Amino acid sequence: MTGTTPTDEAVLVLRFAAPLQSWGGRSAFNRRDTRAEPTKSGVLGLLAAAAGRTREQPIEDLLPLRLGVRVDQPGTLLRDYHTVSDYRERPLLQSAVNAKGVQKLTSPAKNTHLTTRYYLQDAVFVAAIAGPRDLMATLETAVRRPAFPIALGRRSCAPTQPVGLGLYGGGLDDVLTALPWQAAEHVRHSWARRRTDPTTTDLAATVEDPAGDDVLDDVPTSFDPLRRGFTTRNVRHTWLTVPTGLPRTARDDDGPAHDPFALLG
């Protein structure tokens, strides 16, 4: 199925590449999970931050935007074990807040908190966001010159490559199919050596679609800490045949030589 986009709409394409990413679902208490792909909540949060919106500002204009995610490099799962203490040896605060938005003290008092957090290591995703052309142009500019730092799911997960890949016309499927494979160069060359035709590859994708047969509960209704909430969206899972950017002869060479001291000059 190929999506279509009205002439007054555009598709903003983002590349998410970093040593660590974490796209949380409904994590609770001392466990912070990550989903296997970027969530709509995480992507809209990134766009809102780039545009300079605070958590309390409305996001109703962002909610109708349609999201498609392509998995260019799935990465691996990392489990990170934490212990948290106050250096002043004071009891810790809990995650819940009171009516004034102030964190409550742990009850009974707790001086050490254990938490487990999960991340995706060395993953690369392409996210395509479709919506009104004027809004998408504004967001594209914001991504190139973000008002607040951009993070891939969590504040500690900074991207290692430019995030914005520009504005495109066409449907989500069309754009995600046309954009060349964004996996790391050594991954693409290693893959090419095992293929007869390395010029195209099949990549998994999740595309927002009212007729989709799967439901995800990752649409935020607000980022305000006092009014956090989520609703659902329909998606479909598909495979896309995309260009790799590699010539047919790529399978016959070993790719670029690796020099571990190249960054030192």
Which of 26-30, 57-61, 188-192 has the lowest average pLDDT?
26-30
pLDDT (0 to 100) of residue 254: 53
Query: pTM for the complete prediction?
Result: 0.83
Tell me the average pLDDT across 165-194: 94
Which of 81-85, 186-190, 228-232 has the lowest average pLDDT?
81-85
Q: Which two tokens stand for residue 58?
A: 């409305």
Residue 219 lies in a domain: yes
The DSSP-derived string for 86-140 is -TT-PPPEEEEE-TTSPEEEPSS--SEEEEEEEEEEEEEEEEEEEEEHHHHHHHH
Give yes or no for residue 253 having a pLDDT over 50: yes
pLDDT (0 to 100) of residue 141: 97
Confidence of residue 84 (pLDDT cuts 50, 70, 90): confident
pLDDT in tens, 191-250: 998 888 899 999 999 999 999 999 999 999 999 888 888 899 999 999 999 999 998 876
Confidence of residue 1 (pLDDT cuts 50, 70, 90): very low
Cβ-proximal residues to 134 (8 Å cutoff; 6+ apart), any chain: none
Number of domains in the chain: 1
The residue among 253 and 182 whose pLDDT is bigger is: 182
Tell me the average pLDDT across 152-180: 95
The residue among 29 and 96 whose pLDDT is bigger is: 96
Residue 94 lies in a domain: no
Give yes or no for residue 4 having a pLDDT over 70: no
CATH number of residue 230's parent domain: 3.30.70.2660
The residue among 86 and 210 whose pLDDT is bigger is: 210
Is residue 265 within 8 Å of 250, Cβ to Cβ? no
CB atoms within 10 A of CB 45: 19
Give me the helices (H) in 114-171, please: 133-144
The residue among 32 and 44 whose pLDDT is bigger is: 44
What is the rounded CA–CA span in Å between residue 11 and residue 170? Answer: 7
Residue 157 lies in a domain: yes
Tell me the average pLDDT across 111-134: 93
pLDDT (0 to 100) of residue 86: 80
Residue 260 lies in a domain: no
Q: Which helix (H) or strand (E) holds 19?
A: strand 9-21
Nearest alpha-carbon partner for 72 in 170, 188, 190, 186: 188
CB atoms within 10 A of CB 92: 15
pLDDT in tens, 127-162: 999 999 999 999 999 999 999 999 999 999 999 989
Q: Residue 174: what are its φ and ψ, rounded to 5°?
A: -60, -45
Residue 156 lies in a domain: yes
Q: Which two tokens stand for residue 18?
A: 């970093």
Residue 87 lies in a domain: no
Nearest alpha-carbon partner for 53 in 127, 139, 166: 139
How many angstroms from the chain centroid is the CA of residue 235?
A: 16
Cβ-proximal residues to 141 (8 Å cutoff; 6+ apart), any chain: none
Q: What is the CA radius of gyration of the chain?
A: 21
Residue 115 lies in a domain: no
Tell me the average pLDDT across 37-63: 95
The residue among 212 and 6 whose pLDDT is bigger is: 212
pLDDT (0 to 100) of residue 26: 64
- Structural domain that includes position 248: 9-26+34-74+122-255
Residue 99 lies in a domain: no
